Amino acid sequence: MTDKTHIEKEKDLRSPQRVPEQERVEDEVIVKEIDKSEFQKESKQRKEEKIGIAYVLSTSNNTIVHITDMAGNTISRVSGGMVTKHARMKSNPTIAMFVAKKVAERARDLGFTSLYVRMKGRTGDTTGPGAHAAVKALSKEGFNIINILDATKFPRGGPKKKGGRRGRRV
């Protein structure tokens, strides 16, 4: 038996009990394998992300929200008239919010997580009052909004106006 000096005994007391090198190396390998499997599970969940397109038609009289998948198959479509009985309220931003919530419920049930948004108004006019409220409600419902596009058509000259070359003479 070898006697340890006083200093060596103190070092032994201060250092935590160590596991032999082989066991420690094996534990690290196991930990690394667990981390890889968790990462693989997360990446699989990301791959299952479903993307759809939300068409928001908003005029001064009504708001319609229509969600399709990427192929164009209809998932859900709700208008302001389906939410309220009052004709004057169909284009209201509050009603547009309820329309978007109703559409979002159906889309979420089918597993959609992200949306492209296409807003549209009456030709030659801006979008109605409910367009921004509907988009905001979709984002609050938990959808990841990838892109917002204003698809409103506007005339670029159009057909010849009535009245001849010198206009209408009164």
Look at residue 1 and tell me if it is in a domain.
Answer: no
Q: Please give the residue range of the domain that contains residue 139.
A: 50-150
Q: Identify which of 122, 123, 113, 167 has the alpha carbon closest to the alpha carbon of residue 145.
A: 113
Tell me what pLDDT residue 116 has. Answer: 97
Q: What is the pLDDT of residue 114?
A: 96
Greater confidence (38 vs 96) lies with 96
**Does 86 reside within a domain?**
yes
Residue 21 domain-assigned (yes or no): no
What's residue 75's pLDDT?
96
In a domain, 54, yes or no: yes
Burial letters 43-62, b for 16+ CB under 10 A, else e:
eeeeeeeeebbbbbbbbeeb
Which of residues 73 and 23 earns the better pLDDT score? Answer: 73
Asked if the structure places residue 110 within a domain, the reply is: yes
* Rounded percentage of the chain residues whose pLDDT exceeds 90: 59
Q: pLDDT digits over 5-55, tens only?
A: 666 666 565 655 555 555 555 555 554 555 555 556 665 555 578 999 999
Residue 136 has pLDDT above 70, yes or no: yes
Amino acid 147: pLDDT: 96
Q: Is residue 98 part of a domain?
A: yes
pLDDT digit string (tens) for 109-126? Answer: 999 999 999 999 999 888
> What secondary structure does DSSP assign to 71-92, as a single string?
T--EEEEEEGGGT-S-GGGTT-
Q: CATH number for the domain including 66?
A: 3.30.420.80
In-domain check, residue 26: no
Please report the pLDDT score of residue 7 as a whole number: 62
pLDDT for residue 166 is more than 70: yes
The pLDDT assigned to 167 comes to 84
Output b/e per residue, 25-34; b: 16+ Cβ within 10 A.
Answer: eeeeeeeeee
